[in-house]
Amino acid sequence: MFFSWNGVVMPREQLLQLATKVAASELPDKSETSITWGGARIVIEYPEKESEFEGWENSGIRYVFTRYAGELSWLLIQLRDIFYDADLVDGVSKIDFFCRLANAAQRYLDQQGDQDMPLMLLAVLREALSIQEEMAEGRFEFLSVAESGTVADDSVANEKRQSGFVNIEGTKQYIASLGVKVPNSSNS
Give, in order, the Cα–Cα distances in Å from 133 to each of 31, 129, 137. Answer: 32, 6, 6
**pLDDT of 10:** 65
- The predicted pLDDT at position 160 comes to 67
What is residue 164's DSSP assignment? S
Q: What is the mean pLDDT of each run of 10 residues along the chain (188 residues)?
A: 46 92 89 86 93 81 94 96 92 92 96 95 96 89 74 73 84 94 72
Task: Give yes or no for a contact between 10 and 87, defined as CB atoms under 8 angstroms apart.
Answer: no
**How do residues 55-110 score in pLDDT, each as one tens digit?**
877 777 899 999 999 999 999 999 999 999 998 998 889 999 999 999 999 999 99
> CA-based angle 53:34:46, to the nearest 5?
30
CA–CA distance, 169 with 174 (Å, rounded to integer): 9
pLDDT of amino acid 146: 62
Helical axes 117-136 vs 94-112, angle rounded to 10°: 140
What sign for the dihedral angle of Cα 17, 23, 29, 32?
A: positive
Report the pLDDT value the prediction gives residue 159, as an integer from 0 to 100: 66
d(C-alpha 165, C-alpha 180), whole Å: 16
End-to-end CA distance of the chain, in Å?
31
Question: Is residue 63 packed enough to be buried (19+ CB in 10 Å), middle (13-18) or exposed (0-12)?
Answer: middle
CB 124 within 8 A of CB 108: yes
pLDDT given for residue 28 in this prediction: 86
